[in-house]
C-alpha cells in the first residue's frame, strides 16, 4: 500500500533532539490547517462533519477540534464515552454488533446508533421502545455497497464476505421501517471519485426511500485535506444530495483531520551488517506503527535521501517481522542517531501497544508558529504492568 501523504511541512526544521525517544510530536498549526479546509467544505455544502475517534483520539485538542467540527463518531462504548466526556457535539456510534450489557449505556450516550443489519435494527427499536426517557438515539443502518474501490482488500469494506454493513443486494423496502438514517463507509484514503462511484452504485436503491430518511452518513476514508482532493466537486455533490434527499448529510473523516500533522521520533540503537546494513531502533513497527505490517506500507522518513546506501530499520521486539523498511538516511547510520517518520498522528497513536514490554512513545504538542512545545502524555512501565494480571 502506497502512502498518500508524507509532506514534512514545518517538521523540516524541527530539532528531533528536543523530545525524548520514542515520541509522537503533533503540530497544532497543521491540525488547524486541516480543520480550516474541513470547515470550508462543511459551510459551503451545509453538511455536518464528525471526527472519527478510531483514527485520532487526542482529546487534549478537543477545544481546537470542536471549533470546526460537529461532534464525533465512535466505534463502541469506550469511544462513545470519550466523545461524550471530552468532545462537545453529536455522538454517532456504529459497531458490527453491540453487546447487550453495553447497549443501555450506548443508547444514553449516542445521538445516532448505527446497526449492521435489519435484525439489529429490530433489537435497537425494541430497546428504545422499552427503555428510559434518557434514550434519545436515532437508529441508522450501515449498508455495504458491494463495490470494492480500495487498494488493499483487507481494508476494503466491500471486499467479498465483508462483515461491515448490510449488502445492498439484499435490501428490501421493509428494511427502512425501523431506521431514520443510513450509513455508507466504503473508502480508505481516497479521493472524490471513489465516493462518486459508490453513490452511483447505491443511489437507485436509496432514492425511493428518501422520504423515510432524515439523515445520510457517508462515513470516512475521504482524504479531503490532501492537496489533490477535488473539494469543489465534493461540495457540489454534497449540496445536491442534501437538496434532493432533504436529509441531513454527515461525513466522518479521521485521517483528514490529522493528515501530515504528526511525526514519530525515534533513535537508532545499533547498526550491524547482515547482507546489508541493519539498524535497530527504539521504534517498533508492531508496537508503534502496526499498519506498517498490517497494510503493509512503508512510512515516509523525514529528510530521507533519494539515493545512497540503504539500511533496513526494525524495532527492538522479538518479532522477526518487526521491520519498518529500507531507507537511505540523511547521514551515515550510527548508534544514537535520531530519525523521524512522517504522517503518524492518525491511527499510529491510537493503535500503539506494549507487546514484548516495548515502551510506549510519549506524546508532545508543538506549535510551529510560536515554537511552543509541551508534553501532553508520558508513560512509564506501570502502563505495561497494570494492563496485565
Instruction: Give the pLDDT of residue 262.
Output: 98
Up-side HSE of residue 6: CA atoms within 13 Å toward CB?
Answer: 13
| CATH 3.20.20.10 intervals, the chain | 46-257
Cβ contacts of 25 within 8 Å, gap of 6 or more: 11, 14, 19, 262, 263, 265, 340, 364, 365, 366, 373
Instruction: Give the pLDDT of residue 292.
Output: 96
Polymer length of the chain: 389
Instruction: Give the pLDDT of residue 150.
Output: 83
Instruction: Give the pLDDT of residue 6.
Output: 74
pTM of the model: 0.95
What's the rounded Cα separation, in Å, for the pair 89 and 67?
A: 10
Residue that has been written with the C-alpha cell 457540489 in this structure? 236
DSSP per residue, 132-167:
-TT--PEEEEEEE------SSGGG-TTSTT-SSSEE
Domain 46-257 top-level CATH class: alpha beta
Instruction: Give the pLDDT of residue 134.
Output: 66
So what's the architecture of 9-25+261-386 in CATH? Beta Barrel (2.40)
pLDDT tens, position by position, for the chain (389 residues)?
Answer: 666 567 899 999 999 999 999 999 999 999 999 999 999 999 999 999 999 999 999 999 999 999 999 999 999 999 999 999 999 999 999 999 999 999 999 999 999 999 999 999 999 999 888 776 667 789 999 999 999 998 888 889 999 999 999 999 999 999 999 999 999 999 999 999 999 999 999 999 999 999 999 999 999 999 999 999 999 999 999 999 999 999 999 999 999 999 999 999 999 999 999 999 999 999 999 999 999 999 899 999 999 999 999 999 999 999 999 999 999 999 999 999 999 999 999 999 999 999 999 999 999 999 999 999 999 999 999 999 999 99
Say whether 185 sits in a helix, a strand or coil.
coil
Instruction: Give the pLDDT of residue 191.
Output: 96
| CATH 2.40.37.10 intervals, the chain | 9-25+261-386
Q: Which three cell numbers stand for residue 168?
A: 445492498
Phi, psi of 159 (to 5 degrees): -65, 155
Phi, psi of 97 (to 5 degrees): -160, 150
Amino acid at each position: 500500500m502506497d502512502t498518500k501523504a508524507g509532506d514534512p511541512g514545518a517538521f523540516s526544521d524541527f530539532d528531533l533532539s528536543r523530545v525524548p525517544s520514542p515520541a509522537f510530536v503533533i503540530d497544532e498549526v497543521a491540525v488547524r490547517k486541516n480543520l480550516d479546509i474541513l470547515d470550508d467544505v462543511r459551510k459551503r455544502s451545509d453538511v455536518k462533519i464528525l471526527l472519527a475517534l478510531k483514527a485520532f483520539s487526542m482529546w487534549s485538542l478537543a477545544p481546537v477540534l470542536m471549533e470546526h467540527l460537529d461532534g464525533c463518531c465512535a466505534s463502541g462504548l469506550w469511544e462513545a464515552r470519550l466523545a461524550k466526556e471530552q468532545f462537545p457535539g453529536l455522538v454517532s456510534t456504529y459497531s458490527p454488533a453491540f453487546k447487550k450489557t453495553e447497549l443501555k449505556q450506548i443508547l444514553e450516550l449516542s445521538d445516532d446508533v448505527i446497526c449492521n443489519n435489519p435484525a439489529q435494527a429490530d433489537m435497537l427499536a425494541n430497546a428504545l421502545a422499552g427503555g428510559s426517557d434518557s434514550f434519545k438515539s436515532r437508529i441508522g443502518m450501515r449498508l455495504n455497497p458491494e463495490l470494492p474501490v480500495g487498494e488493499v482488500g483487507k481494508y476494503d469494506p466491500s471486499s467479498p464476505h465483508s462483515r461491515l454493513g448490510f449488502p445492498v443486494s439484499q435490501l428490501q423496502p421493509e428494511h427502512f421501517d425501523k431506521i431514520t438514517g443510513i450509513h455508507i463507509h466504503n473508502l480508505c484514503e481516497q479521493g472524490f471519485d471513489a465516493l462518486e462511484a459508490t453513490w452511483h452504485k447505491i443511489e437507485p436503491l436509496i432514492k425511493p426511500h428518501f422520504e423515510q430518511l432524515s439523515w445520510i452518513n457517508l462515513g470516512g476514508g475521504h482524504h479531503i485535506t490532501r492537496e489533490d482532493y477535488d473539494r469543489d466537486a465534493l461540495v457540489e455533490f454534497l449540496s445536491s444530495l442534501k437538496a434532493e434527499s432533504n436529509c441531513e448529510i454527515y461525513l466522518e473523516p479521521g485521517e483528514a483531520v490529522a493528515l501530515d500533522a504528526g511525526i514519530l521520533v525515534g533513535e537508532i540503537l545499533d547498526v550491524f551488517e547482515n547482507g546489508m546494513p541493519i539498524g535497530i531502533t527504539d521504534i517498533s513497527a508492531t508496537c508503534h506503527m502496526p499498519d506498517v505490517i498490517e497494510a503493509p506500507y512503508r512510512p515516509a522518513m523525514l529528510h530521507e535521501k533519494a539515493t545512497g546506501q540503504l539500511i533496513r530499520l526494525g524495532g527492538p521486539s522479538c518479532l522477526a517481522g518487526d521491520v519498518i523498511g529500507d531507507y537511505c538516511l540523511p547521514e551515515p547510520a550510527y548508534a544514537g542517531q535520531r530519525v523521524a517518520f512522517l504522517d503518524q498522528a492518525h491511527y499510529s497513536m491510537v493503535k500503539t501497544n506494549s507487546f514484548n514490554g516495548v515502551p510506549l512513545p510519549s506524546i508532545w504538542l508543538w506549535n510551529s508558529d510560536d515554537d511552543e512545545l509541551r508534553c501532553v502524555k508520558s508513560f512509564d512501565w506501570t502502563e505495561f504492568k497494570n494492563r496485565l494480571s
